[in-house]
Amino acid sequence: MNLWRAPTENDGLEKFMNLRGQPDSAFYHHEKAMLEWLDAGLGSLYFELVSMDGDPHALRSGTGIAEGEHG
């Protein structure tokens, strides 16, 4: 699973995160979509195998070439 989201012009600037909450710097953090994204942890997703069961499966490339069998 991959999760990717294209940045938008109202995302804010991550390098100004240290100014978050400061009224004089509200332009950089107030109501910016980026903050909700980062607060939800979506900027640091990782993959973790929790369990595996079922039949083995094959992995194929985008061209349909078998890359190996796993399971």
Domain-embedded: residue 34: yes
The values of phi and psi at residue 52, to 5°, are -145, 125
Domain-embedded: residue 18: yes
Number of domains within the chain: 1
User: What is residue 70's predicted lDDT score, i.e. its pLDDT?
Assistant: 54
Domain-embedded: residue 67: no
Domain-embedded: residue 41: yes
State the DSSP H helix or E strand holding residue 36, giving kind and residue range, or none if neither. Answer: helix 33-39
Domain with 14 in it: 8-49
pLDDT at residue 11 greater than cutoff 70: no
- Tens digits of per-residue pLDDT, 15-61? 777 888 888 888 777 777 777 877 888 777 777 878 777 777 777 67
26 sits in the region (left: phi over 0; alpha: psi -120 to 50; else beta) called alpha
CA 52 and chain centroid, separation: 23
Domain-embedded: residue 43: yes
Domain-embedded: residue 70: no
User: What is residue 41's predicted lDDT score, i.e. its pLDDT?
Assistant: 81
Domain-embedded: residue 20: yes
Domain-embedded: residue 64: no
pLDDT at residue 71 greater than cutoff 60: no
pTM of the model: 0.43
